[in-house]
Amino acid sequence: MYNFCVINKVVVRYLDGKVIRGSTADFHPDRDVFHVTVTTAESTKSVEVKLKDLKAVFFVKELLGLDKHRTKKKTTFEEMKDKKLIGKKVKVEFIDGEVLCGLTMGYSPQRKGFFFNPIDPDTNNERIFAIMKAVKEVTVYE
């Protein structure tokens, strides 16, 4: 029997603006709680995270972000029209005003949240789990 444990780097954004960065091995979109291991120079601790308190969970390449001197690029679906895109195109507007575009395989407004992958290939985000109560509007494109 194999016990595979996938460790994901995450940036967790709370509804109140708080942010924690760390890693998780027990996130599941159907569970109400998961844990993030936060490591600082002084210590390592496990933080219990409740989905009801969150805006989104960002699964990232690097915890501190990519090169901040790089020009921030906003990729649009129009710019990607010649690329093969798999999934439904969505524009997600959060209640705090942030707007992100991406592709999803499983958007349903009846769920707690949904995963989508950003269309910008240069972003630090690999995928995002948006919490529905933090989403103002989702636009689905054909």
Residue by residue, DSSP assigns the chain as -------EEEEEEETTS-EEEEEES---TT-SEEEEEEE-SS-EEEEEEEGGGEEEEEEES-TT-S-TTSPP----TTTTTTS---SEEEEEEETTS-EEEEEES---TTSSEEEEEES-TTSSEEEEEEEGGGEEEEEEE-
Spans of the chain, pLDDT less than 70: 1-4, 66-83
Number of residues that this document lists for the chain: 142
Percent of the chain with pLDDT strictly greater than 70? 84
pLDDT tens digits, residue range 79-118?
666 667 778 999 999 999 999 999 999 888 899 999 999 9
* Under 8 Å between Cβ of 59 and 128: yes
Total-model pTM:
0.86
Residue 107 confidence (pLDDT): 87
